[in-house]
Amino acid sequence: MRSTLGAAALVLVTACGGPARAPVAPSPIPPSPVPPTRQVTLYNVTFSADPAACGDLPAALRVRTYSAIDGTRFGAKTLTLQGSTFFESSDATFNVLIGHMSDSFASLNFEEAGSVADMITPNSYLWIYGGAEGPIGSGPQSQLPMWAHFTFCEAPKAGTRYPECSVPPIKCSSNRYTLTLERP
C-alpha cells in the first residue's frame, strides 16, 4: 500500500510540473486608453425676419434666439438648437441646422427635416425654413445673409410627420433676413 501511495505522489508531482510553487499574482491589466474629449462649441443663434416682408407676423416672432451646440451628422456640421420646445416627429428633426462651417465661412441649411419648428405654445408653432451663408468674422458675433420662410400657425394638425396647419397660417418670405451666430 505504501509503494502505491509513493508512486501516485511521484506521478502527481511529475504531471503537475514538479514540486508545488507559491501562487503568482496575475499581471495587472493596463488601463484602457481614454478617448479624447471633443471640444463642444456653444453658440447663440438668432433668426431675424425682414420687417418689411413680415408685417403680419406677430412682432414677438420676428426675432427668435436659441442656444446651440455644434456637432456632426452624416459628415456635415450641425448646430442643435436648445432653449425651446420643438415640433417632434418620428422621422424628422426640427431643431437642427445642417451645413458646413469653418473659422471664416458658414453655409447652414434648415430645410425639410432640418428646419426649425418652435412650439410657441402647445397649440401654435413658428416654422422657419431656409438657409444662410456668409463670412464668419474673428469677433464673437457674425451676421449671415439668410433667405427663409417664416410660418406661424395657431392651430396645428395633430399627429402629422411635418408641421401642418388646420387654419390658414401667417406666412412671410424674403431673402433679406439675417442669421446671427454669437459665441458667448
Query: For the chain, what are the domain ranges?
Result: 39-182
pLDDT for residue 118: 96
pLDDT for residue 8: 43
pLDDT average per 10 residues of sequence, the chain (184 residues): 45 48 54 54 92 94 95 86 91 87 91 84 94 92 96 91 92 96 88
pLDDT for residue 155: 93
pTM: 0.76
Strands (E), the chain: 42-48, 63-73, 76-82, 96-101, 105-110, 116-121, 124-135, 141-153, 170-182
pLDDT for residue 145: 97
